[in-house]
Amino acid sequence: MRDPLIHVEKQQMLTHAEMRALIVEATGLAVDAPKTVATGCGKRRRYAMTSTVPERVTCLACREHAQHEHTELAEMIEAALRLPGMVPDAERECYAGAARQRRGLAKRFATLNTTVN
């Protein structure tokens, strides 16, 4: 039986899509996407059946995993901001924005308003 659900990658800090974008930006060369990836629900699924857009993810276990991961990443960034000298003053707002972005993604994953496009 085919799995009709849309999943998230287990690794949320640097997904394959983000890694590929970095490689393209640095080298100008496009790399192939992996055929399968580990997902937040503990399964291995086709990369094409994953999404980084919270509203497209239909696997509830993956949504919970992504919510937890993004919340944890936001907390790590905020902890770094509290440590004296850890983040240069010129970059504090950038870090704070990254934490807000991760919290926003966590909130979107927590919302069960999913659509399949």
40-73: per-residue pLDDT in tens?
999 999 999 999 999 999 999 999 999 999 999 9
pLDDT of residue 74 exceeding 70: yes
What are the residues whose beta carbons fall under 8 Å from the beta carbon of 77, sequence distance 6 or more? 95, 96, 98, 99, 102
d(C-alpha 62, C-alpha 68), whole Å:
10
Q: What is the pTM of this model?
A: 0.83
Percent of the chain with pLDDT over 70: 95
